[in-house]
Amino acid sequence: MEVSDRLVLQARGISKSFGHVQALRNVDLELYAGEVLGLVGDNGAGKSTLIKILSGAIQPDAGAILVNGQPVHLRNPVEARHYGIETVYQDLAVVPLMDIAENLFLGREQRAPGALGVFHFLNKRFMRRRAAEQLHSLNIGIKSVRQRVETLSGGQRQGVAVGRAVTFSRHIVILDEPTAALGVRESRGVVDLIRRINEQGLSVILISHNMPQVLEITHRVMVLRHGQRVGVVRTSETTMEQVVRLITGAEVLPAA
């Protein structure tokens, strides 16, 4: 998808401390419409803290967040979802004993129309149909949305979690290490899945340690080191070696 010059998400001067440990120091982030932005850094660089702030899971000590140019206060993940921000964490948060459709609508179950809905009956037919349509659009190979998630492979479970995010996201999907626990073949499938998400018009923030995949699929890469933003590079104009030098501190870019 072509990237526009319209900012869908901005973070300005984000800082966060946990006791005496300063996890983030005056961090800025910009995400454009149609963009896949890579967020990389060594362990402890502040990536997880930043995405938890952007998804409303924790609150910053200082700084501002803007969605489509408007300042927002994301006090919890529900408010982040209200603004079209969906996050898929590394643990996926799927329920193995529930089926695929139930997982896709977990926490957002659809009530049956009319009197049945008043008595909290669920519209399972609608949820199953919508789940099947969404997974088909993302080319996720599932035999039936009535399958229990415990019967799925790691890559298929990742697909269900991503499918849930895409079903309800209006603007942004944040993916936290989506291929960390997968083999080569399933990782390839997730990379293709990210492309399809982007082609559907969503902007993506991808957190990953897999540098070849990051450089293959992103438009820009933002590097964090010791809680600070140390560089943002266009993927088409950089190399893996330069990104690694930024991560390790061997290279420092001029402040943007």
At residue 2 the predicted structure's pLDDT band, cuts being 50, 70 and 90, is confident
Is 127 part of any domain?
A: no
What's the pLDDT score for residue 207?
Answer: 93
In a domain, 46, yes or no: yes
Decide if 145 is inside a domain: no
Question: How many whole angstroms separate alpha carbon 224 and alpha carbon 246?
Answer: 8
Parent domain of 46 = 7-96+170-248
**What is the rounded CA–CA span in Å between residue 16 and residue 60?**
5
Rounded to the nearest 10 degrees, the angle between the axes of helix 124-137 and helix 154-168 is 110
**Confidence class of residue 11 from pLDDT cuts 50, 70 and 90?**
very high
Confidence of residue 206 (pLDDT cuts 50, 70, 90): very high
Give backbone dihedrals phi and psi of 88, rounded to 5 degrees, phi first. Answer: -110, 105
| Domain total in the chain | 1
Q: What is the pLDDT of residue 243?
A: 94
Look at residue 186 in the predicted model and tell me its pLDDT: 72
* Domain-embedded: residue 204: yes
pLDDT reading at 118 higher than 50: no
**Assigned domain for 60 exists:** yes
What the block records as the tokens of 234 is 């266009």
Q: For residue 21, is it within any domain?
A: yes
**What's the predicted TM-score (pTM) here?**
0.84
The CB density around residue 201, as the number of other CB atoms within 10 Å, is 12
- CATH of residue 20: 3.40.50.300
Residue 246: which pLDDT band, with cuts at 50, 70 and 90?
A: very high
Residue 116 pLDDT > 70, yes or no?
A: no
When mean pLDDT is compared across 19-28, 121-130, 184-193, the lowest value belongs to: 184-193
Can you tell me whether residue 235 is helix, strand or coil?
A: helix
Q: Which pLDDT does position 93 carry in this prediction?
A: 73
User: What string of H, E and C letters represents the secondary structure of 164-208?
Assistant: HHHHHCCCEEEEECCCCCCCHHHHHHHHHHHHHHHHCCCEEEEEC
pLDDT band for position 181 (cuts 50, 70, 90): low
Mean pLDDT of 230-243: 94
Does some domain include residue 139?
no
- Quickly state the pLDDT bin for 107 (edges 50, 70, 90): confident
pLDDT digits (tens, 9 = 90+) for 46-81: 999 999 999 999 999 999 999 999 999 999 998 998
Indicate the average pLDDT of the chain: 87
Is 253 inside a domain boundary? no
Per-residue pLDDT at 29 exceeds 80: yes
pLDDT of residue 47: 95
